[in-house]
Structure 1
Amino acid sequence: MDDRINPEPAGQLHPLSAIFIVVAISALAFAIELTVADHLPWGDEARGVGAVLLGAVAALWLTLRQAGTVADIGMVRPKRWWPVPFWVLGILVTFIAAQALVPQMIAPLFDLPAPDMSRYDYIRGNAGAAIAMALLLPLTAAIPEEVVYRGFLMRQFTRLYGDTRTGAILAVLSQALVFGLVHFQWGLGGIVMTSIMGIVWGVAFLLCGRNLWIVIIAHSAAHIALVLQLYSLPPPS
């Protein structure tokens, strides 16, 4: 495999233009969410949901416009279902290990603050809220985030850098950086840890043959584990 950049197909948007469209739509939606958050029930807790959902819609529309099929971003049924649980388990173990080890590796360099999860304090000790969140997160976060970041962005970054080993590495790192930055509401610790998440999901996406559904299932399981962790904490005083 060489490191040559593939020529841009005629009649298609440049990858950076496609990325800009999705990011701009998401940013506009987020700005609107900030404006109306105080006037809606659960406005603060749900902040960001509209941005990622509209971003996913834009990503799917551009994918269909350019490729004619969502298979271009990995939305295809796994060829065999029996390995899927093993893939999901392996991804989750890697994800948990990365979350545990990375802060320790960074600690000698600088003090990394823990992600700010205070906006989810209402889940702590609240069974009803925890169940609702566990059911909603796959639909409002895992699926649209994987469509945008691992599916669409990795496809566009691969077009930008070239379909090579080097291009794949750069695509994983680039989408992970964007994924981390959009979680700025969680503070510096949240940006770093979600960037690590993005790397784990991105590498997993490549290793499982660019099948987005496998990563979506793993991402959903990770979100449910997070909800259980938050629920197990004592209610805020």
Structure 2
Amino acid sequence: MNLNITNTVSKSTNYKGFLFDLIIYISIMFLVREIYIPKVGFIANGLYWSFTTLIIATWRMKVRNVTWKELGLRKPENLWRTLGVSSIILAATMLSLIAFNILIDLLPFSLGADTSSESAVSKFGNLKGNWGHFFLIIPFILLESMLEELLDRGFLMNWIEKLFSSTSFATVIAVILQAAIFGFRHSNDFSERSITVGIIGLVMGIAYVKFGRNLWPLIIAHCVLNSGSMIGRVID
């Protein structure tokens, strides 16, 4: 992994400022999830949580004079290379998850039960054989996938990296911490699901650094990954 600290955010780092930003951002990220509106369903609530966090991130970026383009939301130089990188990210993600599933029984501790299948029904409805419902909700799933890459790899990772930029391992710390937060946020516990999602975040974080800090290959890979998961629930 390239350990060189990016100058994306600023040349002179305001450590207290970035720490302040992260405290606000992470606090809002988790506190807003305590507000759940049952009548509108999980998808609408999820988008409400993400857009609220997006507003906070954009606000703090404006304070630091940083744009989303600088963090990686910029036009790819080559479409085919972007698709190729997305394919590499997908393959790396799947291989990492397969390896984890093989090694999980060798762990020296027990993990919480993976209830993702049951919770998916309560979140998205019964998708089995229901293609109409799939096409109804998939645009929102793709939008949420994009928002997660903007927020977790684009904003959170860069801000953590800047906070630790006085160390030689700032990028490594940023990749690991954002993946841990990403995994924990999806289950609020230490379980098979949180580790699985954390592994996805870890692969995405490494890919973000290794492939030029452009968010589009990650967004494409994340969208395909989540689409495949939802299709699996339809045909399962």
Identity within the alignment, %: 24
2:31 alignment partner in structure 1: 28
- Alignment of 1:129 with 2:127, yes or no, is no
2:191 alignment partner in structure 1: 188
4+ long deviations beyond 6 Å: 1-4
- RMSD across aligned positions (CA): 2.7
1:212 alignment partner in structure 2: 215
2:104 alignment partner in structure 1: 106
Q: Residues of 1 paired with 2:131 and 2:69: CA distance?
A: 38
2:225 alignment partner in structure 1: 222
SS of the residue corresponding to residue 67 of structure 1 reads: coil
SS of the residue corresponding to residue 212 of structure 2 reads: coil
Q: Residues of 1 paired with 2:101 and 2:89: CA distance?
A: 19
Q: Residues of 1 paired with 2:171 and 2:15: CA distance?
A: 21
**1:121-171 deviation digits (Å, cap 9, x = unpaired):** 2122221222223221111x2111111110111111110121876211111
Q: Residues of 2 paired with 1:171 and 1:179: CA distance?
A: 12
Q: Residues of 1 paired with 2:165 and 2:90: CA distance?
A: 29
Contact 2:82 2:216 survives alignment (8 Å): no
What letter is aligned with 1:89?
S
Q: Which sections of structure 2, spanning at least 5 residues, go unmatched?
A: none
Contact 2:13 2:162 survives alignment (8 Å): no
Match of 1:17 among 17, 20, 23: 20
Contact 1:8 1:14 survives alignment (8 Å): no
Match of 1:58 among 56, 59, 64: 56
Q: Which sections of structure 1, spanning at least 5 residues, go unmatched?
A: none
**1:183-233 deviation digits (Å, cap 9, x = unpaired):** 116871110101001101101111110001221111111110111111122
**1:50-72 deviation digits (Å, cap 9, x = unpaired):** 21221122112211321242223
Q: Residues of 2 paired with 1:214 and 1:178: CA distance?
A: 21
1:160 alignment partner in structure 2: 163
What letter is aligned with 1:119?
S
Higher RCO (CA < 8 A, seq sep 6+): 2
What letter is aligned with 2:77?
K
2:175 alignment partner in structure 1: 172
Match of 2:73 among 28, 52, 75: 75
How many residues align? The count is: 226
TM-score scaled to structure 2, two decimals? Answer: 0.85
TM-score scaled to structure 1, two decimals? Answer: 0.84
